[in-house]
Amino acid sequence: MKRVAVIGYGGQGAWHCTQVQKSDVAELAGIYDIKETRRNAAKENGIFVYSSNEEIFADNTVDIIVVSTPNDVHEELVVNGLKSGHNVICEKPVALSVAEFDRMTAAEKESGKLLSVHQNRRWDIDYLAVKSVIESGEIGETIRVESRIHGSRGIPSDWRCEKAKGGGMILDWGVHLIDQMLMLIPEKVKRITCNVTNITNKEVDDGFRMEMLFESGKSAYVEVGTYNFIALPRFYMQSQEGSLYLNDWQEKAKVAKLTRWIEKDVTPVQNAAGITKTMAPRDELTLDSYEIEKQKSDVHNFYRNFCKACDGTEEQLIKNSQVRRVLMVMETAFKSAEAGQTIEVDI
Ligand code: NAD
Pocket test for ligand 1, best of 9, 17, 18, 33 (most atoms within 8 A of CB): 33
pLDDT band at 234 (very low <50, low <70, confident <90, very high): very high
Mutation test of ligand 1: which of 6, 69, 88, 299 has the most ligand atoms closer than 8 Å to its C-beta? 69
Q: For the chain, what percent of residues have pLDDT higher than 90? A: 94
Nearest to 129 by CA among 7, 228, 251: 251
Task: Flag whether pLDDT at 318 surpasses 90.
Answer: yes
Return the pLDDT at 220.
98
Superfamily of segment(s) 2-118: NAD(P)-binding Rossmann-like Domain (3.40.50.720)
Could you tell me if 151 and 228 are in contact, meaning their C-beta atoms sit under 8 angstroms apart?
Answer: yes
Distance 70 CA to ligand 1 centre (A): 4
Query: What is the spatial distance between Cα 33 and Cα 165, in angstroms, rounded to a whole number?
Result: 17
What average pLDDT score do residues 154-176 get?
A: 96
Residue 139: is its pLDDT beyond 90?
Answer: yes
pLDDT in tens, 267-295: 899 888 889 989 999 988 999 999 999 99
Q: What is the pLDDT of residue 272?
A: 85
pLDDT of 245 reads 98
**Which atom number of ligand 1 is nearest to the Cα of residue 171?**
34
pLDDT at 134 over 90: yes
pLDDT score recorded for residue 65: 98
Average pLDDT over residues 151-158: 94
Residue 157 has pLDDT above 90, yes or no: no
Ligand 1: which atom is nearest the Cα of residue 73? 18
> What residues contact 287, with CB distance under 8 A and at least 6 apart?
242, 256, 257, 258, 259
90 burial type by CB count under 10 A (0-12 exposed, 13-18 middle, 19+ buried): buried
- Site to probe by mutation for ligand 1, drawn from 6, 9, 12 as the one with most ligand atoms within 8 Å of Cβ, is 12
Lowest mean pLDDT among 11-25, 66-80, 180-194, 252-266: 252-266
Q: Of 305, 247, 336, 330, give the one whose Cα is nearest residue 25.
A: 305
Does the global pTM surpass 0.85? yes
Atom nearest to 121 CA in ligand 1: 40
Model confidence pLDDT, tens digit, residues 11-60: 999 999 999 999 999 999 999 999 999 999 999 999 999 999 999 999 99
What is the predicted pLDDT for the residue at 89? 98
Q: What pLDDT is attached to residue 273? A: 82
Instruction: State the CATH class of domain 122-298+328-344.
Output: alpha beta
**pLDDT above 90 for 212:** yes
pLDDT of residue 312: 96
In the chain, where are the structural domains located?
2-118, 122-298+328-344
Ligand 1 is surrounded, with C-beta below 6 A, by: 7-13, 32-35, 38, 53, 68-71, 73, 91-92, 118, 120, 158-159, 172
Identify the residue whose C-alpha is closest to ligand 1 atom 9.
10
| pLDDT on residue 79 | 98
- DSSP H or E stretch at residue 106: helix 98-111
**Which phi and psi angles does 39 have, rounded to 5°?**
-65, -40
Confidence of residue 264 (pLDDT cuts 50, 70, 90): confident
- Which residues, in sequence order, are bridge partners of residue 89? 66, 116
Query: According to the model, what pLDDT value does residue 265 have?
Result: 83
Which pLDDT score is estimated for 271? 87
CB-CB contact of 38 with 9 (8 Å): yes
